[in-house]
Structure 1
Amino acid sequence: MKKVLFFMPDNPLKKNAGNRTRALSMLSYFKSRNFEIDFVSEYYTGRWDETDIKVFKQSGLADNTYVIKKKPSKKNILYYLLFYKLPNFFYSNKAWFFPLQFPELVTLRFKRAFKKILAEKKYDYIFINYASWATLVEHNPLTKGAVTVIDTHDFITAQLQRKVNIGQSFKEEIRRISLFDIALAISVEEQYIFSQFCKNKVALAPMMLNKPESIGVIAEKSFDLIYVASDNVHNQKSANWFFKEVYPLLPANVQICVIGQINEHLTIKAPNITSVNFVEDLATYYQNAKVALCPMLTGTGTKIKVVEALSYGMPVVCNTRGIDGLIDKNNNGCLVSDDAVEFKNNIMQLLTDDSAYQKQAENALATFNLNYEKEQCYKNLDTIFGIV
């Protein structure tokens, strides 16, 4: 039985963001291939509590679970300052005269705890999520003999381009990704960028989802449009654009369901808008809607909500950023426009033209089955992880 040490700072069972869904799908893959899985996370970053830890342990996703605190309690402030804050200040290279220009989330305390886990067992694979945690394997002799893998999730420099020196940030991101034997890119764009500069193996590992058990079983849909979004800054900006520029152009009888924490940032209230902050399972809502929305003006990486919609054979209306990461850019079930009037027209075409709708629905399902269906993606991962 192969052994994998899997680090993910967030709780994968809190499926309210694409990055958590991604980690959950990777854990499920290793479980399906009979890996022995040791799961490591960070208490504060993942917003864990004791109930969360218990539920995760009972989920069966991992054989052993370690949720580590990257910093001590502040109850003893002198201990906190002398044995955590001051040493970590220099370890993280955050002195004013040496700005890193790239997020370093690994603390000295956490790295020591991570090494302690490594010292207790030999692993075949060490799997790290995010370049901002990549230094867990840097200068770490305990990783010797294991294949190190990073799941990049995103192109972080592009996300931070207005906050950092782009050249220094990009150089550091490439350096961190190059620390690993294998780098997984979720999108074709990121695979291309990373493979041009990294000397290690950069493999495409697109988002993978289960094929829904039933598609289109509800004859009369409750919603014309479904919009699923978390509360990150990109979604906030994009949602504001949609409801300010596009929504007023739509007929008042078009029913819209908005799902996710993005609702906390929306002030618009109307009889044709249904707001749902969180649902455990989106399946019922997708089956009960006709068209998915993905207004995205900024951001990078594959939009998980787009792939989810495609899995239900649901056409998507989006901006150019909405198809970022998709392997097929054309005939993929998405109607794309950055102009508010054209965006509205794309929506209305799908809601009023049955033949146009059917064509896009067929394209959506074909795109999903070919590129993102779980079993198809598992075959690709089998090649990467040497499973015959």
Structure 2
Amino acid sequence: MKILILANRLPHGNVAGGHRLIYQRMRQLIDRGHCVGLASFVDPTEERHVAGLRGQLHEVETLPTKRRNLPVRILRDYVSGSLPAIYWKNHTKTMMRLVGDLVERTQYDVVVAEFSEMGMYLYRNPYLSAVHKVVSCHRCLTTAFSKYMETAGVPLSLRIKSATQVRLLEKYEFELYSAMDHILTLTAEDRFTLLQHAPQLPISVIPPGIDFDYLDREPVAKPADPIIMMCGYFADKSNHDGAMWFAHEVWPIARRKHPSLKCFFIGEGASNEMERLADKDDRISVAGAVDDLRPYREQATIFINPMRLGSGLRIKVLEAMATGLPVVSTALGVAGIPAQNGVNCFVADTPQLFADSIGWLLNDGHLAASMGRAAKGMVERQYDVRSTIRELEQVLAEVVSI
């Protein structure tokens, strides 16, 4: 098949989370003999990865990430127009035309829009000729905005923005899905969520694949002081909220009980608020963007995922589990994962229980090792990239044959 992938951020081997999943999907589809192209927005900090992708894919076309001026952004965030704000911030006629030109030039069999935001380039695109269209929904945007309104501690500005946008967002998001040939979700829970809004949607669950060949490395000695680690793209509201909730509510408890404990926040997009945490506390580090997360996971004692907002499956949790790193997470942070509390992870939704879970792992090395082994075994059985890519390939083949 000829498959064109659309992405709102450049997918490459060193990126984390959902965009690493996209990169793995592209690599595996190429290895299975398919012709794969990419159209993506790219930030200047990631342009160095474009040349490597051009050496792997049939073609790669990129556009610079759109920068909107602040007054216009504020206006669109709080005053609903014909296009919801989260779609509008990624909207450009140049990408509309580019997608149409690529489909016409290469005669792709199917276009897969990764993340719902990129689905707009397959919906009402005047430059797009007839082609099979698929949206890979990493999270339901309507559900995410609803949680912004319902979760305690979310800034008032975000609550107001969500309240003004959620109805328009729901209408647009599900009209878009209904115009597609097929929808992909990462979990059965996400599939159920979408079907509650639109029961007629053709949806398949394709779990993320974990590349054990990439993750498996020689074990290294841990540092003397224990480290808890959180990673993510912190410009994303759900990651930022989770980091700040942990820092303000959980960290003071854990810090008092474990004087040598350190906390690392690793990932692009850290806010000034996060940087100030590190300035005030020498046991907190904000590493920013890194080219390779593996050395940080190898040094860490515990991986945390204190997510309270958003939806979808957290690939970063699966990758941590796949390396045998014990995980402490909120229930939302392991949604869609076969999490067994006390067996392959600890699940905690209150600050005290979250801090206690960290303490149990720090104080009991046997428990931490046993939990890490159980988690790694679960990921090996259910999320190996070779089996999940076959599922994706089968769904795409069925779409093309319609």
The TM-score, its normalising length taken from structure 2, stands at 0.79
Q: Which has the larger radius of gyration?
A: 1
Q: In the alignment, is residue 127 of structure 1 matched against residue 112 of structure 2? A: yes
1:205 equivalent in structure 2: 206
Shift of 1:257: 2.9
1:268 corresponds to which residue? 277
Give the counterpart of 1:225 among 222, 225, 228.
228
2:243 is the alignment partner of 1:239:
yes
How far residue 255 of structure 1 moved from its aligned partner, in angstroms, is: 3.0
Q: Distance in 2 between matches of 1:64 and 1:26?
A: 16
Is 1:194 the counterpart of 2:194? The answer is yes
Deviations 1:216-238 (A, max 9, x none): 72244454322213222222222
CA separation of 1:379/1:120 partners in 2, compared to 1, >3 Å: closer, same or farther? Answer: closer
1:137-156 deviation line (CA, Å, top 9, x unaligned): 33569543x43211112111
Counterpart amino acid of residue 249 in structure 2: E
Deviations 1:168-209 (A, max 9, x none): 422321221122212111233211122342534211122222
Moved more, 159-168 or 368-377: 159-168
Equivalent residue letter for 2:246? F
Letter aligned with residue 27 of structure 1: M
Aligned to 1:358: 369
1:55 corresponds to: 51
1:113 paired residue number: 98
Q: Which has the higher helix share?
A: 2
Q: Which residue of 1 aligns with 2:134?
A: 149
* Distance change >3 Å, CA 331–CA 207, structure 1 → 2: farther
- 1:77 alignment counterpart: none
The Cα shift of 1:51 comes to 4.9
* Contact 2:326/2:344, CA 8 A, preserved across alignment: yes
1:9 equivalent in structure 2: 8
Contact 1:149 1:181 in 2 (8 A): yes
Bigger shift: residues 61-70 or 332-341: 61-70
- RMSD of aligned alpha carbons: 3.2
* Whole-angstrom CA distance in 2 between matches of 1:257 and 1:266: 12
State the SS of the aligned residue for 1:160: helix
Q: Contact 2:297/2:320 (CA < 8 Å) preserved in 1?
A: yes
Q: Give the share of equivalent positions with the same residue, in percent.
A: 20
Deviations 1:263-287 (A, max 9, x none): 7523234443344223211112212
Q: 1:69 to 1:210 in 2, by over 3 A?
A: closer
8 A contact 1:70–1:110 mirrored in 2: no
Post-superposition Cα deviations, 1:352-371, rounded to whole Å, max 9, x if no partner, equal 12332233112211221122
2:350 maps to 1:339: yes
How many angstroms does 1:122 deviate by?
1.9
Q: Quote the residue 1:20 is aligned against.
A: 19
Higher RCO, 1 vs 2 (CA within 8 Å, ≥6 residues apart): 2
Q: Which amino acid counterpart does residue 110 of structure 2 have in structure 1? A: Y
- Match of 2:318, SS state, is helix
Scaled by the length of structure 1, what TM-score is found?
A: 0.81
Checking the alignment, whether the CA contact within 8 Å between 1:263 and 1:276 is kept in structure 2 is no
Question: Unaligned regions of 5+ residues in structure 1, if any?
Answer: 72-92
Secondary structure of the structure 2 residue equivalent to 1:184 = strand
1:322 equivalenced with 2:324 (yes/no): no
Of 342-351 and 222-231, the range deviating more from structure 2: 222-231
Counterpart Cα distance in 2 of 1:271 and 1:49: 28
Hey, what's the Cα distance between the residues in 2 that align with 1:166 and 1:273? 36
- In the aligned structure 2, how far is the partner of 1:383 from the partner of 1:329? 30
